[in-house]
């Protein structure tokens, strides 16, 4: 079964990737799964300088969901390139580096640095992290700033670039269009939804930073809807993400219009989930009489009259 998929000029051997933030730099998971069998490894968000992250507690479990406020703790670009990237390369992983800046200048610099480094398949531009004071989501909330970040990165790299978008917006299609206009090769939909939880006994917020990002199956219907909306209105390659915890969940995204998917929170529970989904996906396509993943993408059966009403 051919599971090959294309996100613009980025060619993936299979459409199951691991999402940024849940997979570190790959070292921890490597004893449990063969990184070269993943469609792609999206690294922890990398910034120009190392970041310590937010004060704990950084996690809270909610119904079918997980709130986090890690705050982009990462080793910074220099140590990433020196200490972390060689390992990923050695594992023959398809590496997509997630980059994060507090200013356009930082995004530009990061794009420049990675453009000159071998062994990177693409960049994912993080303009959607809700857990930082500056940068991140700040850029991804408006079409104008979204486009500017993408133009800035595009100007400095020939690598395929993906824009990872936030669901915390009024109209995702508008932001998606701006990202593509700015030069993105594809979109990752969606980052976490802003959320919070309170311990009623102590009357304290469960996260030290009060508000965090919600992930997990709780947000899946929102993510599927956003993939569907963007796929319908714009003809752009999409990587779907949001609460994928099974093959069935992943299939929803493909049918809604995604050409690949990322597993995040699901990995924390089952580290081998991406490989399981990859295997079962092939079986599903067989059963449905489809010859490849391409034939499934956006192939939702719906009567035309209903589609018009949406």
Partner 1 sequence: MVMQLSRCPISKNQVIAPGYFLMEIESPEIAGEAEPGQFVMIKTRDGLEPLLRRPLSLHRISSTSIELLYQVIGKGTQSLSRTRPGEFLDLLGPLGKPFPLPKSNSGSTLLVAGGMGIAPILALAEKIAKRSKVLPAPRLRQAGKGQRSRAPLKIHLLYGAKNKANLVRIKEFQKLGVEVKTVTEDGSAGRKGLATNLLRESLVSSPGQISAVYACGPRPMLKSVARIMKNKKIPLYLSLEEMMACGMGACLGCSVRAKGKEIHYLRVCQDGPVFETGEIVL
**CB 178, min distance to partner 1, A:** 30
Q: Which of 231, 202, 208, 214 is nearest to 300 (CA)?
A: 231
Question: Site for partner 1 (CB under 8 A): how many residues?
Answer: 35
- Using rule CB under 8 A, residue 79 touches partner 1: no
What are the DSSP E strand ranges found in 120-256?
122-126, 161-165, 186-189, 193-195, 198-199, 204-205, 212-215, 238-241
What are the DSSP E strand ranges found in 235-288?
238-241, 260-263
Cβ contact 139:106 at 8 Å: no
Cβ contact 254:297 at 8 Å: yes
- Using rule CB under 8 A, residue 210 touches partner 1: no
Q: According to CB under 8 A, which one of 2, 9, 11, 32 is a site residue for partner 1?
A: 32
Scanning 94-102, 155-163, 264-272, 285-293 for contacts with partner 1 by CB under 8 A, the matching segment is: 264-272
Collapse the DSSP code of 175 into the 3-class scheme (helix H, G, I; strand E, B; otherwise coil) and give the result.
helix
- Using rule CB under 8 A, residue 167 touches partner 1: no
- Using rule CB under 8 A, residue 63 touches partner 1: yes
Q: Which of 294, 213, 267 is nearest to 23 (CA)?
A: 267
- Using rule CB under 8 A, residue 190 touches partner 1: no
Collapse the DSSP code of 250 into the 3-class scheme (helix H, G, I; strand E, B; otherwise coil) and give the result.
helix
What totals of helices (H) and strands (E) does the chain contain, helices first? Answer: 11, 16
- Using rule CB under 8 A, residue 60 touches partner 1: yes
**CB 66, min distance to partner 1, A:** 6
**CB 232, min distance to partner 1, A:** 29
Q: According to CB under 8 A, which one of 117, 222, 268, 282 is a site residue for partner 1?
A: 268
Cβ contact 191:204 at 8 Å: no
Q: Which is nearer to partner 1, 74 or 152 (CB)?
A: 74
Q: According to CB under 8 A, which one of 46, 214, 267, 296 is a site residue for partner 1?
A: 267
Scanning 60-68, 93-101, 122-130, 134-142 for contacts with partner 1 by CB under 8 A, the matching segment is: 60-68
What are the DSSP E strand ranges found in the chain?
5-7, 10-12, 16-18, 40-42, 59-62, 65-68, 95-99, 122-126, 161-165, 186-189, 193-195, 198-199, 204-205, 212-215, 238-241, 260-263
- Using rule CB under 8 A, residue 242 touches partner 1: no
**CB 44, min distance to partner 1, A:** 8
CA 268 to chain centre: 15
Q: Which is nearer to partner 1, 28 or 144 (CB)?
A: 28
Collapse the DSSP code of 147 into the 3-class scheme (helix H, G, I; strand E, B; otherwise coil) and give the result.
helix
Q: Which of 243, 231, 234, 226 is nearest to 296 (CA)?
A: 231
- Using rule CB under 8 A, residue 272 touches partner 1: yes
- Using rule CB under 8 A, residue 78 touches partner 1: no
Q: According to CB under 8 A, which one of 1, 4, 6, 64 is a site residue for partner 1?
A: 64
CA dihedral sign of residues 62, 71, 268, 40: positive
Q: Which is nearer to partner 1, 55 or 299 (CB)?
A: 55
- Using rule CB under 8 A, residue 269 touches partner 1: yes
Collapse the DSSP code of 193 into the 3-class scheme (helix H, G, I; strand E, B; otherwise coil) and give the result.
strand
**CB 48, min distance to partner 1, A:** 17
Q: According to CB under 8 A, which one of 46, 66, 163, 176 is a site residue for partner 1?
A: 66
Residues binding partner 1 (CB under 8 A): 21-24, 28-29, 31-32, 44, 52-53, 55-61, 63-66, 68, 70, 73, 216-217, 245, 265, 267-272
């Amino acid at each position: 079964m051919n599971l090959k998929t294309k996100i613009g000029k980025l060619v993936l051997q299979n459409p199951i990737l691991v999402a940024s933030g849940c997979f570190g730099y790959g070292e921890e998971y490597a004893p449990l799964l063969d990184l070269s069998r993943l469609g792609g490894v999206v690294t922890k968000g990398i910034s120009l300088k190392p970041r310590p992250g937010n004060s704990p507690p950084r996690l809270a479990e909610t119904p079918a969901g997980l709130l986090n406020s890690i705050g982009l703790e990462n080793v910074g670009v220099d140590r990433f390139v020196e200490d972390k990237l060689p390992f990923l390369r050695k594992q023959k992983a398809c590496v997509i580096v997630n980059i994060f800046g507090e200013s356009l200048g930082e995004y530009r610099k990061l794009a420049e640095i990675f453009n000159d480094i071998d062994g990177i398949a693409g960049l994912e531009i993080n303009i959607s992290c809700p857990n930082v004071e500056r940068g991140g989501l700040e850029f991804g909330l408006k079409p104008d700033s979204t486009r500017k970040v993408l133009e800035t990165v595009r100007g400095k790299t020939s690598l395929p670039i993906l824009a990872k978008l936030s669901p915390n917006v009024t109209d995702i299609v508008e932001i998606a269009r701006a990202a593509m206009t700015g030069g993105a090769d594809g979109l990752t939909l969606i980052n976490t939804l802003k959320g919070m939880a309170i311990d009623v006994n102590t009357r304290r917020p469960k996260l030290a930073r009060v508000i965090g990002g919600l992930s997990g199956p709780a947000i899946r219907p929102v993510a599927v809807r956003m993939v569907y909306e963007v796929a319908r209105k714009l003809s752009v390659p999409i990587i779907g993400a949001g609460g994928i915890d099974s093959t069935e969940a992943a299939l929803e995204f493909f049918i809604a219009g995604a050409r690949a998917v990322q597993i995040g929170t699901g990995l924390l529970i089952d580290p081998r989930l991406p490989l399981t989904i990859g295997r079962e996906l092939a079986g599903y396509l067989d059963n449905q009489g489809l010859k490849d993943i391409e034939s499934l993408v956006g192939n939702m059966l719906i009567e035309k009259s209903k589609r018009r009403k949406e």
